[in-house]
Amino acid sequence: MLKVLLIAGARPNFMKVAPIYAEMKRRPSEFVPMIVHTGQHYDAAMSDAFFDDLGMPKPDIYLGVGSGSHAVQTAKIMTEFEPVVLEHKPEWVLVVGDVNSTIACALVCAKLGIKIAHVEAGLRSRDRAMPEEINRILTDSISDLLLTTSQDADVNLDQEGIRGRRVKFVGNVMIDSLLEHLKIAENSTVRTDLGIEADEYGVMTLHRPSNVDEKDVFEGILDALVTVAEKLPIVFPVHPRTRGKIAEFGFDAKIASSNIRLIDPLGYLDFMRLYSGAKLVLTDSGGLQEETTVLGIPCLTLRHNTERPVTIELGTNVLVGTDPEKIKQAAAEVLDGGKQREDAKIPPLWDGKASRRICDELLRFTK
């Protein structure tokens, strides 16, 4: 049996860890999984809600590192995680995504000679100003097994000299969670509570510092949204950090007089129910680019680059940046019934079985 520590640091990690943990628990003769929650996202209510929605048990180990600068947070995770590895002596530590917990835990294991598996390896935005890009590159460089979501990720790794049996294309584990919980999410009353009907609203998420920390950039995005919302009401679950910037920059009145509706952050199932009924999604999130692609929902990504180009090449995603005119034009093309991606396809292996393939590869690589 393989003892595997599964690292969950931030909320997007939970959706990736959950199906892998569930698959390992279905194979008790092969795996002994343990969930380590670093506490990087430390809002207890939100974390508990995500674990409950995903059917996950309470973490076996909670490090409780909390907030801090990138350096402080990464260092805290490393110093708290090292004794855990020394005590439990796992065969594998599995890290997901690109948050500080990912690189911190991988680095501890690389120093201790513990094998590292990286889920979502090989994603590249080519923008090293993004902390996540640094985390991806460094984690991939020290991982033993690199598990990729799309074939372009394999190409990225090959160009960096990482190839051979270390790299395995297994598909997208986020889609495992999506497909498993989509039916369950129908029990959510969030649409009824908000008084909205499917296909009659848009959904917006915005949290990246490059979008919300600079007043001019944030205001330009909001101005575009105000115009879009004249044709389609927009529901905006607001990240606490983003809400703080709205207050700081004095944007409350602009939003209040528009058809943009601010709501508090939602749990996993409520948010799934919300965005799965949207006519249009606008976001700077990575995961939503993938989920909307599978659901066939037009998505406008408010970034100048994406580490998930397959969602543009095959899916429903359009990269619009932060230029207000481009945002308005792209939204109008969707809302006027013009540009629906008739040729949009679901990328290969985004089939809800990635966690099974991940477990198979861990066993195969261990032999």
Q: Tell me the CATH number for domain 2-171+350-366.
A: 3.40.50.2000
- Please report which helix (H) or strand (E) contains residue 118, including its range: strand 115-121
CATH architecture designation of domain 182-335: 3-Layer(aba) Sandwich (3.40)
The tokens for 204 are 């917006």
**Measured distance CA(346)–CA(199) in Å, rounded:** 21
3 state DSSP class of 53: helix
Selection from 239, 220, 243 nearest residue 302 by Cα: 220
Higher pLDDT, 289 or 55: 289
- pTM score, two decimals? 0.94
Q: Which of 118, 181, 207, 304 is catalytic?
A: 207
**Residue 287 scores a pLDDT above 60:** yes
- The structural domains of the chain, with segments of one domain joined by +, span 2-171+350-366, 182-335
What pLDDT, on a 0 to 100 scale, did the predictor assign at position 362?
98
What pLDDT, on a 0 to 100 scale, did the predictor assign at position 44?
59
Please, what is the end-to-end C-alpha distance for the chain in angstroms? 12
Same fold, 2-171+350-366 and 182-335: yes
* pLDDT tens column, 187-245: 999 999 999 999 999 999 999 999 999 999 999 999 999 999 999 999 999 988 899 99
**Measured distance CA(12)–CA(302) in Å, rounded:** 18
Across the chain, what does the average pLDDT equal? 94
- Place 308 in a pLDDT band, splitting at 50, 70 and 90: very high
The tokens for 356 are 């099974």
What would the 3-class secondary structure string for 121-138 be? ECCCCCCCCCHHHHHHHH
What pLDDT, on a 0 to 100 scale, did the predictor assign at position 46?
62
Distance of CA 106 to the CA centre of its chain: 19
Give catalytic status of residue 118 as yes or no: no
Q: What is the largest CA-CA distance in the chain?
A: 62
**Measured distance CA(366)–CA(20) in Å, rounded:** 17
What pLDDT, on a 0 to 100 scale, did the predictor assign at position 47?
67
**Residue 68 scores a pLDDT above 90:** no
- Place 43 in a pLDDT band, splitting at 50, 70 and 90: low
**342 burial level (CB within 10 Å; 0-12, 13-18, 19+):** exposed
- Place 341 in a pLDDT band, splitting at 50, 70 and 90: low
* pLDDT tens column, 246-285: 999 999 999 999 999 999 999 999 999 999 999 999 999 9
Helical axes 173-185 vs 354-366, angle rounded to 10°: 150
What pLDDT, on a 0 to 100 scale, did the predictor assign at position 302?
98
* pLDDT tens column, 130-184: 999 999 999 999 999 999 999 999 999 999 999 999 999 999 999 999 999 999 9
* pLDDT tens column, 323-338: 999 999 999 999 987 5
- Place 48 in a pLDDT band, splitting at 50, 70 and 90: confident
